[in-house]
Chain A
């Protein structure tokens, strides 16, 4: 079983008669129970791909399957979690109110819901800030409550869009530890990033996207030479591909 599969997925935006190919002919396969890093420079199309997989944007052509079900099937969403890039939540809500709201969306029974909320707040270290409105949270705290809400429904697959961008070193370490912990619980993690050093530490497999095209996908250990860093590999590959086009 594949966690994610896409077939000829494409997204073209039309603005003022001009076409922008955000994603072109994307064929991707992600195996379960691993951390898959979806990497690429800014504007490569990482967020667009995640948006299409989650039903936030309709593909122009092609299709995709998540956990063997075609995108658009509402049932898939029972089994996935999602942390958007720079997450924004209802700022007048407290952590408990936010998690309770999302728990109700998943129709989790009240008793089980509140037990889960306590577990998650404890996991992300926000138990003491449980009643503070989110508008008073720091960026790192928002990221942590964001991670907690992705797990409210015990998902099999979790999407993180740039989860470590803009965080300080302590915040980055906390988020990375949490992602590793999520994987240890037997879940699949699909995360987009352009912070390559951290991606190298976390990922089992990677896919590199440039200008809307997937240029490589595979296990990290198979792609990198023993003495080569992911950053060196990434820059070499991008330069090579861009050189081929010119």
Chain B
């Protein structure tokens, strides 16, 4: 376990020196702060609009950061050949994958935490109340980010960072639309189309499960049972992604 944590710490140290992360986080905080000005012209809806924009902004920034850190960590090690020195040391390939994953997750969660704290503070200033109800959608944004990092890591075990980033974005978009697949399958006449549709439905992550932003912004109470159910789904999906990543990486040469 200590080898995995050492590798994760190394990934974290390197990623935190990347300026693009700070740009995304600062841009997101700026967007949330800006929404307070915009909400001033929408009488009666100010708080709801702020919550909407804030949560959506954090979700989009979390998506960008997760894909960026998840897709680049492993290809960068391979392309820069730093992996040769590392794998020649007492590091098992699964430890390498899990270390890269944990380091990337840590950076993604830290960025989300900074944005979330900024959001809660701005919201508190505006509403003169601590909106703790916002934590539930933010928890799910964190778990969506973890799943997305795992998906990006999987692609990055056999693709360049650019290709894995593109594939991860495609999966993110498809994952937010996949809940519609069963309705489309019902209407499809062709057996092959039905089969492919159902296959995609089960293989793709259902990111809509993680999206409780709208009800939260409307002040609807989201039950903890639902939150834990989605967390469990995210944990299982992440574990599967990592198992496949390790299996792919196991037989890879680094010559």
Residues of A bordering B, CB below 8 Å: 47-48, 51, 54-58, 74-75, 77-78, 80, 82, 84, 86-93, 97, 101-102, 104-107, 149, 153, 159
Contacts and interface: CB of A to CB of B under 8 A. Distances in A.
Given A87-B85, A88-B80, A105 B254 contact: no
A142 to B, nearest CB: 12
Given A88-B80, A88-B81, A88-B82, A105 B91 contact: yes
Contact of B81 (A57, A84, A92, A105): A84
Contacts, number: 79
A149 B10 CA distance: 15
A101 B82 contact: no
A58 B255 CA distance: 10
A6 B108 CA distance: 45
A86 B84 CA distance: 11
Contacts of B14: 90, 92-93
B253 interface: yes
Given A90-B14, A93-B13, A97-B13, A58 B251 contact: yes
A84 B84 contact: yes
Interface string B1-45: 011001101100110010000000000000000000000000000
A86 B10 CA distance: 22
B7 to A, nearest CB: 8
B85 A57 contact: no
Interface of B: 2-3, 6-7, 9-10, 13-14, 17, 80-82, 84-92, 251, 253-255
B253 A56 contact: yes
A106 B90 contact: yes
A90 B92 CA distance: 19
Nearest to B79: A88
Contacts of A58: 251, 253
15 contacts: A51-B84, A54-B87, A56-B88, A57-B253, A57-B254, A77-B89, A84-B84, A84-B88, A86-B81, A88-B82, A90-B10, A90-B14, A92-B14, A93-B14, A106-B90
Contact of A105 (B86, B251, B253): B86
Contacts of A107: 2-3
Contacts of B86: 105
Given A57-B254, A88-B82, A80 B6 contact: no
Contact of B10 (A57, A80, A101): A101
B179 to A, nearest CB: 41
B238 to A, nearest CB: 25
A109 to B, nearest CB: 12
Contacts of B7: 105
A105 B88 contact: no
Contact of A89 (B6, B82, B92, B253): B82
B246 to A, nearest CB: 15
Nearest to A152: B89
B80 A55 contact: no
Nearest to A55: B87
A78 B88 contact: no
Contacts of B251: 58
B13 A105 contact: no
Nearest to B83: A56
Contacts of B253: 51, 56-58
A93 B82 CA distance: 12
B254 A56 contact: yes
Given A88-B80, A92-B17, A57 B255 contact: yes
Nearest to B92: A74
Contacts of B80: 88, 91
A44 to B, nearest CB: 14
Contacts of B81: 84, 86, 88
A90 B77 CA distance: 9
A131 B170 CA distance: 41
A108 B84 CA distance: 21
A58 B87 CA distance: 13
Given A92-B17, A105-B6, A149 B85 contact: yes
B161 to A, nearest CB: 16
Q: Closest 10 CB pairs between A and B?
A: A82-B88, A57-B253, A77-B90, A104-B6, A54-B88, A92-B17, A56-B254, A57-B255, A88-B81, A84-B84
A145 to B, nearest CB: 11
Contacts of B82: 88-90
Name, among B2, B7, B89, B254, the residue most crowded by chain A CB atoms within 10 Å (CB to CB).
B89
Contacts of A93: 13-14
